[in-house]
């Protein structure tokens, strides 16, 4: 048997079982070895019935009598008499009639694990879980691993298969450098894996977890260390700082920059002067004013004869940025061009020429920018707005459009929790806009019951009467995007034909033609429209400061950071803004909704989101497909620090990864996934 042996060949695995395993992505012996238990149940303290007292416990007993009876509609109670050599005990289950057949064999022994408590007027064992005693390796390993459920497969069977392949677990190759294992006093990989699947004591599990979590973090941190070293070897463009250029730009702004904006801009300009290309993440909460920081840097780049490319995830956002930057830069004779899918024919050809000749110095666009036909001219500065919306490949494609590696500024309004920033983006320099422009008031957020919609509409109407504007956001009703369009169109009709007959309403969704979208957006931005009924296409970036109220329908269907992003469309001026989260029904609001109602702080909400969903869920879909930490938790800062120290040392010593096949492979994967350039 080898790690690569198909599970089908293992004793006890029939074709049907193999199929079920394959459906859970378990194909080889190695796959199953890596299928680590999700937790361990402690069956080590089996008590005699004569000795029990209230609380959680496990007994080993036979079932003497069992019966199920209906108590009332929807409730069936199963009661059993359990016996061991020392006494008898009542057990009770609610709505689990199958226990009657499961426990029918009077001579079979089972483990019952549950809470012994006062219930229905007597002490009983309530809802205990049940395992056949014969199916558990009671005498040697009493700590029972519990695996993630595999459809159709009993966990007992998984454990049995693991017993078959146990011999192989004792000879797993070491995946960490020997020196690291030694200095950190970690278990060898084999022992750790055995400790997870076949622990003898809780300490075995603890030590196994420590080793495996360390390994995961080490790989991740080593990847970012190596990325950092790679980046330091690159040669970039030198863009010298010109104080007058910057001062003139700042002087013509209609507002004072915040302290945080100044600091971020200064950090960028200093990076411009270095030999190695900038690799910087600009994190700022929604509305913190990232665009103007990028604009200032683009001004400096243009003054030294360098082109800037700014890529945004949607057409709406790209055209809005082009307009904003044009206003900021045109006065200095810096031309801004907009390249999206909807620029066609002659206009597109002309734009290509202007970009290639450098007469357009700042090119704003969607992923149209990375098309092969686009030729840049001394592309020295690349800005990626809402960077988490892009894949690694798209970012890289844009960067390779320059003869040298351009300076990179990735902007994101979805703050990355510290622990994640350290592990996943450890290679990056980070600037943080932790200060909102002066005079902003926190947005008032309220969870709203669908039954009192009328009051909400009255609130919007009052805002409009005051000269303000509002958004009504409609969600996916299910996963079908066509239904999302239906729901937004229906809402639009309803509001326009009755409730807001006297107001001007616009409709916006992703399937509209881009000139229609542009038209609606600019009518909303200019104040001609009072209300914009929209899907989440406005989620990212859209900036209409006069809009002060937002209704989010079916708010419970959105994720936490998505809600925060959406809400960020209001609260962009000194006027008080409001956000109403309308529930789909009158059930209890989720933790998610309560958190968003409670806090306006994107950094706090990102931490909460990370806790509620885990990193894989948050950062998984978009770019970190393989970032699935099985054992490590990002809240384990002590272990992160230890792994960080070792990864740094290993990288600096010119680590020779060649000797460590498996490590090299995993690290390489992480390097590709987490790098920004």
Using CB under 6 A, list all residues that contact ligand ADP.
255-258, 261, 284, 286-292, 413, 437, 541, 543, 545, 572
What is the Cα–Cα distance from 109 to 112, expressed in whole angstroms? 10
Q: Which two tokens stand for residue 224?
A: 């970012």
Q: Give least dist CB 320 to Mg ion, A.
A: 9
Q: What are phi and psi of 241, to 5 degrees?
A: -75, 130
What is the Cα–Cα distance from 212 to 186, expressed in whole angstroms? 9
- Tell me which residue has its CB nearest to ligand ADP: 289
- Tell me which residue has its CB nearest to Mg ion: 541
Binding mask 532-561 for Mg ion (x = CB under 5 A): ---------x--------------------
Compare residues 365 and 541 and give the one whose CB is closer to Mg ion: 541
**H-helix or E-strand containing 430?**
strand 429-433
Q: Give least dist CB 253 to ligand ADP, A.
A: 8
Q: Give least dist CB 326 to Mg ion, A.
A: 16
Q: Are strands 87-94 and 75-84 parallel, antiparallel or unpaired?
A: antiparallel
Binding mask 497-536 for Mg ion (x = CB under 5 A): ----------------------------------------
**377: closest CA among 349, 409, 353?**
353
What is the Cα–Cα distance from 529 to 570, expressed in whole angstroms? 16
Q: Tell me the residue length of the chain.
A: 677
Q: Give least dist CB 407 to Mg ion, A.
A: 19
Q: Does 470 bind Mg ion (CB under 5 A)?
A: no
Residue listed under structure tokens 């019935």: 49
Q: Which two tokens stand for residue 487?
A: 């729901």
Compare residues 415 and 541 and give the one whose CB is closer to Mg ion: 541
Asked if residue 537 lies in contact with residue 316, where contact means CB atoms within 8 angstroms, the answer is: yes
- By rule CB under 5 A, what count of residues binds Mg ion? 1
Compare residues 19 and 256 and give the one whose CB is closer to ligand ADP: 256
Compare residues 17 and 412 and give the one whose CB is closer to ligand ADP: 412
What is the Cα–Cα distance from 535 to 324, expressed in whole angstroms? 23
Q: Give least dist CB 273 to ligand ADP, A.
A: 24
Asked if residue 590 lies in contact with residue 563, where contact means CB atoms within 8 angstroms, the answer is: no
From the list Mg ion, ligand ADP, none, pick the one residue 87 interacts with, judged by a Cβ distance below 5 to 8 Å according to partner type.
none
From the list Mg ion, ligand ADP, none, pick the one residue 624 interacts with, judged by a Cβ distance below 5 to 8 Å according to partner type.
none
Compare residues 554 and 565 and give the one whose CB is closer to Mg ion: 565
- Beta-bridge mates of residue 576: none
What is the Cα–Cα distance from 489 to 482, expressed in whole angstroms? 11
Compare residues 541 and 602 and give the one whose CB is closer to Mg ion: 541
From the list Mg ion, ligand ADP, none, pick the one residue 94 interacts with, judged by a Cβ distance below 5 to 8 Å according to partner type.
none
Compare residues 141 and 539 and give the one whose CB is closer to ligand ADP: 539
Q: E-assigned strands of 55-186?
A: 55-72, 75-84, 87-94, 110-119, 122-132, 143-146
Q: Give least dist CB 324 to Mg ion, A.
A: 9
Compare residues 277 and 541 and give the one whose CB is closer to Mg ion: 541
Count of alpha carbons within 13 angstroms of residue 156, beta-carbon side: 9
From the list ligand ADP, Mg ion, none, pick the one residue 620 interacts with, judged by a Cβ distance below 5 to 8 Å according to partner type.
none
From the list Mg ion, ligand ADP, none, pick the one residue 284 interacts with, judged by a Cβ distance below 5 to 8 Å according to partner type.
ligand ADP
What is the Cα–Cα distance from 258 to 439, expressed in whole angstroms? 11
Sequence-distant (6+) residues with CB within 8 A of 511 are 481, 485
Q: Give least dist CB 261 to ligand ADP, A.
A: 6
What is the Cα–Cα distance from 284 to 386, expressed in whole angstroms? 11
- Beta-bridge mates of residue 508: 534
From the list Mg ion, ligand ADP, none, pick the one residue 17 interacts with, judged by a Cβ distance below 5 to 8 Å according to partner type.
none
What is the Cα–Cα distance from 293 to 325, expressed in whole angstroms? 11
Compare residues 26 and 260 and give the one whose CB is closer to ligand ADP: 260
From the list Mg ion, ligand ADP, none, pick the one residue 572 interacts with, judged by a Cβ distance below 5 to 8 Å according to partner type.
ligand ADP
Q: Give least dist CB 439 to ligand ADP, A.
A: 8
What is the Cα–Cα distance from 436 to 431, expressed in whole angstroms? 14
Q: Give least dist CB 286 to ligand ADP, A.
A: 5
From the list Mg ion, ligand ADP, none, pick the one residue 287 interacts with, judged by a Cβ distance below 5 to 8 Å according to partner type.
ligand ADP
Compare residues 292 and 551 and give the one whose CB is closer to ligand ADP: 292
**536: closest CA among 559, 505, 503, 513?**
559
List of residues contacting Mg ion (CB under 5 A): 541
């Amino acid at each position: 048997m080898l790690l690569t042996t198909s599970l089908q060949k293992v004793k006890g695995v029939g074709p049907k079982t193999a199929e079920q395993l394959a459906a859970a992505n378990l194909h080889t012996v190695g796959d199953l070895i890596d299928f680590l238990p999700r937790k361990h149940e402690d069956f080590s303290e089996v008590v005699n019935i004569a000795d029990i007292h209230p609380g959680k416990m496990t007994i080993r007993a036979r079932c003497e009598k069992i019966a199920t009876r209906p108590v009332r509609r929807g409730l069936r109670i199963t009661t059993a008499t359990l016996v061991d050599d020392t006494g008898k005990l009542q057990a009770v289950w609610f709505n689990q009639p199958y226990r009657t057949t499961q426990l029918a064999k009077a001579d079979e022994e089972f483990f019952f694990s549950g809470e012994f408590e006062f219930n229905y007027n007597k002490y009983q064992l309530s809802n205990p879980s049940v395992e056949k005693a014969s199916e558990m390796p009671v005498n040697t390993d009493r700590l029972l691993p519990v695996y993630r459920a595999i459809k159709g497969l009993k966990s007992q069977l998984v454990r049995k298969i693991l017993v078959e392949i146990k011999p192989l677990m004792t000879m797993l190759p070491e995946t960490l450098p020997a020196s690291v294992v030694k200095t950190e006093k970690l278990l060898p990989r084999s022992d750790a894996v055995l400790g997870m699947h076949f622990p003898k004591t809780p300490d075995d599990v603890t030590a196994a977890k420590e080793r495996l979590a360390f390994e995961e973090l080490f790989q991740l941190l080593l990847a970012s260390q190596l990325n950092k070293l790679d980046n330091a070897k690159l040669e970039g463009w030198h863009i010298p700082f010109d104080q007058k250029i910057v001062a003139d730009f700042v002087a013509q702004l209609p507002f004072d920059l915040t302290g945080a904006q100044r600091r971020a801009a200064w950090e960028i300009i200093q990076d411009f002067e270095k030999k190695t290309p900038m690799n910087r993440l600009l994190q700022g909460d929604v509305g913190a004013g990232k665009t103007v920081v990028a604009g200032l840097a683009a001004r400096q780049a243009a003054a030294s004869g360098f082109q800037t490319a700014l890529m945004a995830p949607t057409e709406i956002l790209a055209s809005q940025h082009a307009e904003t930057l044009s206003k900021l830069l045109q006065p200095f004779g810096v031309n801004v061009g907009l390249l999206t899918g909807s620029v066609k024919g002659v206009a597109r050809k002309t734009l290509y020429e202007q970009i290639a000749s450098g007469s357009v110095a700042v090119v704003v666009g969607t992923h149209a920018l990375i098309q092969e036909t686009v030729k840049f001219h001394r592309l020295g500065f690349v800005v990626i707005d809402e960077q988490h919306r892009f894949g690694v490949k798209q970012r890289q494609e844009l960067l390779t459009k320059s003869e040298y590696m351009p300076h990179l500024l990735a902007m994101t309004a979805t703050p990355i929790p510290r622990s994640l920033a350290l592990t996943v983006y450890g290679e990056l320099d980070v600037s943080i806009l932790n200060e909102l422009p002066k005079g902003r008031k926190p947005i008032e957020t309220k969870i709203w019951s669908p039954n009192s919609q009328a009051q909400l509409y009255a609130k919007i109407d009052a805002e409009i009467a005051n000269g303000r504007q509002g958004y009504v956001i409609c969600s996916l009703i299910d996963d079908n995007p066509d239904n999302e369009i239906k729901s937004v169109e229906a809402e639009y009709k309803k509001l326009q034909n009755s409730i807001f007959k006297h107001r001007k309403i616009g409709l916006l969704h992703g399937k509209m033609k881009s000139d229609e979208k542009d038209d609606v957006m600019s009518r909303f931005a200019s104040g001609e429209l009072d209300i914009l009924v929209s899907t989440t296409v406005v989620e990212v970036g859209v900036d209409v400061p006069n809009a002060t109220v937002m209704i989010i329908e079916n708010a419970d269907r959105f994720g936490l950071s998505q809600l925060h992003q959406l809400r960020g469309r209001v609260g962009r001026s000194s006027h008080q803004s409001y956000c109403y989260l309308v529930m789909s029904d009158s059930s209890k609001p989720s933790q998610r909704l309560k958190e968003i109602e409670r806090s306006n702080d994107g950094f706090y909400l990102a931490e909460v989101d990370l806790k509620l969903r885990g990193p894989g869920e948050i950062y998984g879909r978009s770019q970190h497909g393989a970032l699935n930490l099985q054992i490590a938790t990002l809240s384990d800062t002590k272990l992160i620090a230890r792994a960080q120290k070792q990864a740094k040392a290993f990288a600096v010593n010119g680590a020779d990864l060649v000797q460590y096949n498996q490590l090299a492979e995993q690290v390489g994967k992480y390097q590709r996934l987490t790098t920004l350039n």
